[in-house]
Amino acid sequence: MLIKKPGDIKSFEITDRELYLNRRQFIQRVAGAALAAGMPGWNGVRAAAPEKIRLPETRKSAYSTGEPLNSLKDITTYNNFYEFGTDKYSPARLAKSLRTRPWMVKVSGEVKRPKTFDVDELIKLAPLEERIYRLRCVEAWSMVVPWVGYPIAELIKRVEPTGNAKYVEFTTLHDPEQMPGQRAALFGSLDWPYVEGLRMDEAMHPLAILGFGLYGEVLPNQNGAPVRIVVPWKYGFKSAKSIVSIRFVEKQPVNSWQKAAAHEYGFYSNVNPSVDHPRWSQATERRIGEFFKRKTLMFNGYTEQVARLYTGVDLRKYY
């Protein structure tokens, strides 16, 4: 089922021949996979060659970690991006169908200067920096990723939030034509579009960035092109991808995973080794590329920078 919002691109403009063929391939692959007793990626994991467009010169940042980076291949072939399937290998194959230009980001809500930005305009809003961050997934694996972007605060300052703006809500594109994972599922699916949220002071924190690239190049589609957020002290799912709307609101947004299973995923979702997921431990994690698990750090190792945001907050209750 395809729900169209007013102002959407017409379907004949979207479904060009190449996409149509991609979809046929997808259906054939799914049929093949079903035959292979439902093994995800049973034929091994094929790396997609990401399109390489270099971003303008980026500044280094004191917020970057010196830890060894994960390879571009790991970062671009092992993704949780349910809009392109629920297993980690399918986004690399399926995200080709995402068209990242033209791309508009609507900034609205409790702001004095609401505006819809073209993503190319948004990129130039502030100087780009390289931010090498640890990324900790709620599934207990982690990576080190060299993102390119600038603090969300740069955008927030320019749109001048009103006194009522207590939270920021980020919404991912909703277009089942481009995002096969959003096509009608019989059961067990997130509600679309994907929504995430941050408290105002979290969004203003210099660690929280709008990401446009990684490894010095524009974001590959499977990593949330053309613009995403990166909030390194929270579990990965808090960092919404392929954003089309940034809304300033008074009430705490209900993020998608919280909506799906509130007892398992909270609004805050700060990385916290002492508060387990109800079904598995968060005390350790496997750094991709390593064989054995390592200890998970409080706030994913960013305690020094972010602990002040949560003084007096019961992190067991507000998980």
Which residues in this chain contact other proteins in the complex, by CB under 8 A?
A: 37-42, 44-45, 70, 73-74, 77-78, 82, 86, 88-89, 139, 141, 143, 185-190, 260-261, 279-281, 284, 286, 288-289, 291-293
CB of 289 to other proteins, least distance (A): 8
Of 31 and 53, which CB lies nearer to other proteins in the complex structure?
31
SS3 letters for the chain?
A: CCCCCCCCCCHHHHCCHHHHHHHHHHHHHHHHHHHCCCCCCCCCCCCCCCCCCECCCCECCCCCCCCCCCCHHHHHHCCCCHHHCCCCCHHHHHHHHCCCCCCEEEEEECECCCEEEEHHHHHCCCCCEEEEEEEECCCCEEEEEEEEEEEHHHHHHHHCECCCCCEEEEEECCCCCCCHHHCCCCCCCCCCCCEEEEEHHHHHCCCCEEEEEECCEECCHHHCCCCEEECCCECHHHCCCCEEEEEEECCCCCCHHHHHCCCCCCCCCECCCCCCCCCCCCCEEEECCCCCCEECCHHHHCHHHHHHHHCCCCCCCCC
Of 12 and 292, which CB lies nearer to other proteins in the complex structure?
292
CB of 258 to other proteins, least distance (A): 12
Of 49 and 53, which CB lies nearer to other proteins in the complex structure?
49
CB of 33 to other proteins, least distance (A): 11
Of 163 and 278, which CB lies nearer to other proteins in the complex structure?
278
Of 6 and 44, which CB lies nearer to other proteins in the complex structure?
44
CB of 72 to other proteins, least distance (A): 11
CB of 197 to other proteins, least distance (A): 19
Of 116 and 284, which CB lies nearer to other proteins in the complex structure?
284
CB of 94 to other proteins, least distance (A): 15
